[in-house]
Structure formats: C-alpha cells, structure tokens
A and B are shown apart, each in its own frame.
Chain A
C-alpha cells in the first residue's frame, strides 16, 4: 500500500518537473530566474542548451568522451523503496537501454570490487573451484538476447496507469558470458546432483534453488549487458541468467553455486514467489507465462481519428512468440498483428497493427500466443483456474485500454 502511494508521488513530481522544465526554459530565456521555477532551474534548463533558430547556420559541439541522450528526451524509471520500473511506453524496439532496466533488490545495490571478485562452485562436484572475473572471461563466451521479468509484474486497480506502472518490471538486454554448463564440466558436476543453490553477495545474501537441468539447457553466468560491463543494479560484476525464468532466480552479484540432490527451500521460494491456487499453494513456478501489452496508444496518450499504428511487446518464458492478436472492438474480433523480425526465443517481441479509428469509443487489447500453443488468458480465466485469492505472482492477464471519444486512452481495470 505504502509503496503504491510513494510511486504515485514520484509520478506526479516527474510530470511537474517535465512540464516546468519546459516552462522554465522559456522563462530562463526571457527573464532573470523566476523564484517559482528556481528548484527546477537548478536541475533542468541550465543543462538544456538553447536550440538555434536554424541549426544549419551554427557549428555544433564537437566529439566527446561519452555520449548523452538528447536534452529533449527524458525517459526515466519510476522507483519505490524496493523496485524501479522501465518506461515501456518510451521504447520503439526491444532492447532496453541499460540505465532504464528495471530493478528489484532486497537489501540495496552492493559495491563489489571486480579485482577481488570470485565465484565459488562446490557441493556435489569432483573439484570445488573458485573463478576470478578474469578467469570467467577466458572461457568461450556466448551472447544472448532475452527478457527478464519480476514474477510480481502486474499492477491494476485504476484507470490512470501507464504501461510502465502496469507492467514495467520487465526489460530486455543482450547478455554476454559463459554457459553454466561449461563451468559445470570444469568442476566435474556429479550426475546425481539435481539442484543447485545460487547465492548473491548483497546484504540479502539472496538465495534460490535451481534445477540442474536448467544449467545443461541454457543457463549462463553473465558479466556483460548490451556490450559493456553489467550495471551495478543488474548484478555487477557477475549475475546468473536463466532465460525465461522468473527474475528473482537470476541471482545478481553471484558469489556461490552449490550443487545438491535436493532444493534448499529458501525464504524466496517458500514465503515469497509462491501463490494460492484454489486450496493449495503453488511453488517453483519458474517459467514466465506468455503475455503482451499495447504500449501505444496507452495512458496518458491521445489519438486522432484516422490511421493509428497500435504497438506493443509480447513475450513468453517458454519459447518464441507464435503470434499476437489484437482486438479493436473490445474483444469481439481479433486480427493477427505483424511481428518484428527476428522473433527470438524467450525474448520481448515487438508487434504492430494498423488500425483506422473512426472516432467512436472502444477498447483495444492484445493477446499473445507462444510456440507451446499457450494463449494469454483473461483475468477471469485465471480466477476460474486458480480461485479468486490468486495473489500477485505469475499473473499475466490480457490488459485492455479504453479509447474515449476525445481520443484519450485509459487503462481498463478488471
């Protein structure tokens, strides 16, 4: 509850700062600093150079050591005390800029010296071993694009919600590192080992049990994100990457892996990240179910009658997106959206659908179908299958947007 309230405040103040930033720019150009804008003038306008009347008549600044976003663009994460969300509505394709990747950590972001970093692999192995960062980088490397998503990714409850607020706990990067199977061969993993414990070196000393099968399938130990070293919030210098599996298991700041013949039943896999299904509690839901969201048009955007390209992302933790269907008549009829190539396994897939809006109020929605034949369900289908006390984990209902007569877009809470 408290977290939500905090989020709202943050959102509000961001809106204000963006608006006043522009107002401040004008004011700064014309007047001496207006005291009302003084606070924003400090953070905003003095970093925004006055655009020249005609850029073809002025030589611009030369090369620099590090590039920056255009001073006219301000995509930001929205954060609370425990997480931050990616601005999905600001993205035109599927790689999340690293500084906008969502965050969820349980005891803050630790600072780890890469020179002192070591990964320990022990337990049911022939040779318990330690690897430095430099040693990990000597192994054959692999790059892979895949999404990460928090198992608690979904928020509803009111109409004024942006895609970022509804579903911003997912992002996508190109990750580089070594296959975990390569390391398991190096230490001589015991074929009788069925699980491994992954442990972080943050103050939560975060732990999760992972089936060893995932290591032989596609798990990676990664040290790079979008071509450069992983961001601190993403686990610098090394994290576990389990493509398609719930975010919490992709242990960041990874320091230890212990192979075992049974799971450890850590707090995160028992007290958290489990959810009621009828009269039982379901645990070990690793794969993220297929889902999608329309990111344009979305709240608080406005459209005009005529051609509108509906845009969004779809993904599945079980493989490739087979198709995305879009409805522009509140779910009565569905059409296949165009998928942007290449469609990758366990990856955000961009979809687009051309629509001619006649100006009448309606609802637009999308549903993802993955290569296993799974069709993204409605909230009602989920409630029928799991009971009404489903909790907040692994909830992937179809989300819809209401288009009002004036072209404004509002989320449709169920």
Chain B
C-alpha cells in the first residue's frame, strides 16, 4: 500500500514536473529515493572520534598494558624509537620521536596536534596486517603507551573517554589553517 502511494505521488510529481518543465531548475525538494537508516546500522559504522572526545567509546587503558601490546603487535613494523626499519617490506612511519626541542623526524611527539586522532586512527586501521582487530581497551592502552613514549603523559596516567580529549599535544600550537585564496601572491 505504502509503496503504491509513494510511486503514485512520484508519478504525479513527474507529471507536474513535466508541465512546469519550462522552469528547468524546479527540482522537487525530495525525490523519495533511499530509506531511513536504523540506529543499529549507524552505530556499526560510526567509529569516528573528534578532538572534543565525541565518539570515544567506554573503556580504559594504561601505559604498561599498552607497551606489551605494542611489543607484540606493532613493533615488527614500526620499530622501537630509532630502530632501523629498512629491512621491513612495508616501511611504516616512525611513531616515537623526541618532542619539539630537538628536530626529529615527523612523529606523534613533535607533529601530531590531537591525541584523539591517535585513538581514531589505530582503531580504524591498525595493525596494518590485521586492521580493526583491536578491542577498545587495547586501543586506549596502546594510545597511552605511544603518548608516554613520546614524553607527553606520565607512566601512571590512565586513558579513557574523559582523560584523552584533555591531553594537549606539543605540536598543536604550530598548526595554522590555509587561508590562501588564489591571486598573484605566492605563499
């Protein structure tokens, strides 16, 4: 029944559209294609985390647990601090680096402006060979370990949805939005 009515309305819409087709741009406000998404469907895919913490799941992690997971699931590709990675097939970016004082290769400690990005990225795509296989608690722990190894948090700090967004990253103050608009000036 419902479908028939929708089709009927759409047809009527089409006819009306035809009659006023002199106005080329008279799109209907809605076409009625697609369907409402359920909250379960949205929850399944909605995994993003914003800098203000929106999207962070329940759970908690700590530096020591994180170090254990890092050693077994990440170190093979990402190395430890200054390990030479040239023998590894997929050269993965260095994750631990000194903070701003000494200019080290781009890494979390001297280049990442938001701690939430680390949680979001690791949860969505790492470890590279088993993407999306970590539990939320494991991701909190690895995030804690990487922030500790980059000298941003203390070894005894726990991470959860409350504490993670509060962490101020050393590189945050360096970031500026591009405001170029074209024109003759080279910037």
A241-258 near B? 1/0 per residue, CB < 8 Å: 000000000000001101
Given contacts A262-B50, A281-B111, contact A186 B30 (CB under 8 A): yes
Interface pick from A13-21, A84-92, A126-134, A350-358: A126-134
Asked if residues A271 and B42 are in contact (CB atoms below 8 Å), the reply is: no
Q: Assuming A199-B45, A265-B51, is B111 touching A271 (CB within 8 A)?
A: yes
Determine if B46 is an interface residue (Cβ-Cβ < 8 Å). yes
Q: How far apart sit A122 and B52, CA to CA, in the bound complex (Å)?
A: 19
* One of B1-9, B60-68, B135-143, B173-181 contacting the partner: B173-181
Q: Is A138 in contact with B114, judged by CB distance below 8 angstroms?
A: no
Report if A131-B42 is in contact (Cβ < 8 Å); known contacts: A258-B48, A264-B50, A281-B175. Answer: no
Cβ–Cβ < 8 Å partners of A281 in chain B: 111, 113, 171, 174-176
Cα distance A204–B171 in the bound complex, in angstroms:
24
Indicate whether A129 sits within 8 Å of B37 (C-beta atoms), given known contacts A186-B31, A264-B50, A373-B182.
Answer: yes
Nearest-Cβ distance from residue A315 to partner chain B, whole angstroms: 14
B106 interface contact, C-beta 8 A: yes
On whether the beta carbons of B86 and A2 are closer than 8 Å, the reply is yes
Give the contacting residue for B131; candidates A81, A205, A284; CB below 8 A. A205
- A254 to chain B minimum Cβ distance, whole angstroms, is 12
Residues of B within 8 A of A386 (CB): 187
Report the Cα distance A283→B36, complex, angstroms. Answer: 35
B187's partner among A131, A186, A373, A385 (CB-CB below 8 A) is A385
Q: Would B112 and A135 count as touching, CB distance under 8 A?
A: no
Task: Enumerate chain A residues within 8 angstroms of B52, measured Cβ to Cβ.
Answer: 262
For B28-46 the 0/1 string (1 means CB < 8 A from A) is 0111011111000110011
B131 engages A266 (CB within 8 Å): no
- Contact present for A267 and B117 (CB under 8 Å): yes
* Closest chain A CB from B14 CB (angstroms): 12
Binary B-proximity of A265-284 (CB < 8 A = 1, otherwise 0): 11100110010010111111
Residue from B89, B108, B183 whose CB has the most chain A CB atoms within 10 Å: B183
Question: Is there a chain B Cβ closer than 8 Å to A337's Cβ?
Answer: no
- The answer to whether A120 and B175 touch (CB under 8 A), given A2-B86, A271-B112, is no
Q: Which of A120, A280, A385: most chain B CB closer than 10 A?
A: A120
Instruction: Report the minimal beta-carbon distance from B34 to chain A, rounded to whole angstroms.
Output: 4
Cβ–Cβ contact B37 & A283, under 8 A = no
B146 to chain A, nearest CB (A): 12
Is A286 an interface residue when CB atoms closer than 8 A count as contact?
yes
Determine if A129 and B34 form an interchain contact, defined as CB atoms under 8 angstroms apart: yes
A382 within 8 A of B: yes
Contact indicator B45/A185 (Cβ below 8 Å): no
Of all chain B residues, the one with the shortest Cβ separation from A384 is B186
Q: Is the CB of B184 within 8 A of A375?
A: yes
The contact string, 1 if C-beta is below 8 Å from chain A, for chain B 76-117, is: 000000000010011101000000000000101001111011
A→B interface (CB under 8 Å):
2-3, 81, 106-107, 120, 122, 127-132, 135-136, 138-140, 182, 185-186, 197, 199, 203-205, 207, 255-256, 258, 260, 262, 264-267, 270-271, 274, 277, 279-287, 318-319, 370, 372-375, 377, 381-382, 384-386
Contacts A255-B45, A270-B114, A370-B182 aside, 4 further interface pairs with beta carbons under 8 A come to A122-B42, A203-B125, A319-B182, A373-B184
